[in-house]
Structure 1
Amino acid sequence: MKGSPSRGMARKDSIAQVALELYLERGFGVSIDEVAAEAGASKQTIYKFFGGRDGLARAAMELELERVVGPMREAAAAAGVASARLAAFAEAYQDVLFSSRCLAMYRFVIGTAGETPEFGAAFNDTVVEYVLGLVTPLIAEATGARPAQARDLADQFIGTLQGSELNRALAGVAVDDQRLARLRGRAIATLASS
């Protein structure tokens, strides 16, 4: 008798979690053998669940995405006026983006994208597009912008929230909370004037 589907999903998530931790610790050069050994799984199980290394990396990112987007999703979906929800979204976005774990993920993706462009593309599809998809309807609601314009405004909004502070943080410089607050204020003000 085979295991239950929920046990299979739990096992799959467990393997993806092990892979994520290894990637963040050692980089994308971690082999399927290393993940299998650390997870107590066979290579055959990993290939069955994920199809290979790229599928495993994508599953690891999706697992991490679910962990970090909750506060952004809650802010975007909360009751209240759109401007207040945008302010809450902006703060939640920065809290997630500038966390040590998220910065480690960004460093990992940047470090591997050159050798494995598929991984960079998976990160874009899984994380970047998801975040833009959360905030674009909220921006449309707040500004009255049409979908294409709201998407452009979302790009600008997210870029302003990151500012050059993201580059500093990726380089290991301590995050300046006052600078982040100014970036949030500028992002909101820019939307209000559009």
Structure 2
Amino acid sequence: MLWPLVATASLASAVLIGRADAERAVPIPAARTDVPAAPGLQTAVLAGGCFWGMDAVFSHVKGVRAVTSGYAGGRAGTATYDQVSTETTGHAEAVQIRYDPRQVSYATLLRVYFSVAHDPTQVDRQGPDSGPSYRSAIFPQTPQQAAVARAYIAQLTAAKAFPRPIATHVEQGRFYPAEAYHQDFFAKHPTHPYIVAWDKPKLAAFRAGFPTLSR
């Protein structure tokens, strides 16, 4: 995200021009393979640009119990916002999703991820944010998740679901929670200019595109 927590009215006006209602859910097929449901909560880690917007979408998915914003793919010692923002640490801004697989499956989360949570065709950027920390990446937590993620990317590629090649990588790496002020940022700061311009349209698109999955 480009702006500090307190932004000027002029910045807000500039970014809102032509942005409202710009987001639409991309109609993509459901995955052909999925991770079998297992007892208890499961974890998914997904990166797709600023974690504020990813949190905003996945926090409203039925079956999701908790979403934590953080950094994935780098080392623990450099997993801070100031250091990650230098674009030299190898981290990606990501969200850790705790979900009930009896209510929402891993493949369904991936469908939301590819369809509306971010643009999987952008390389090292999302919207106004650029750099490798804003890359599109999936961090599987199990071998089964890795297999499903790779198969779904191949399926969407073969179906030409997007006008440009999918840039999403399947990566390995630990997840580190971000600073407290980044957690639940959408819910706590609904009028922040960045949230209004870039994240509220994503949530609206999710609700319109996945009405039975939205809560």
Q: State the TM-score, normalized to the length of structure 2.
A: 0.26
Largest Rg, 1 or 2: 1
Higher helix share: 1
Higher strand share: 2
Asked which structure has the greater RCO (Cα within 8 Å, sep 6+), the reply is 2
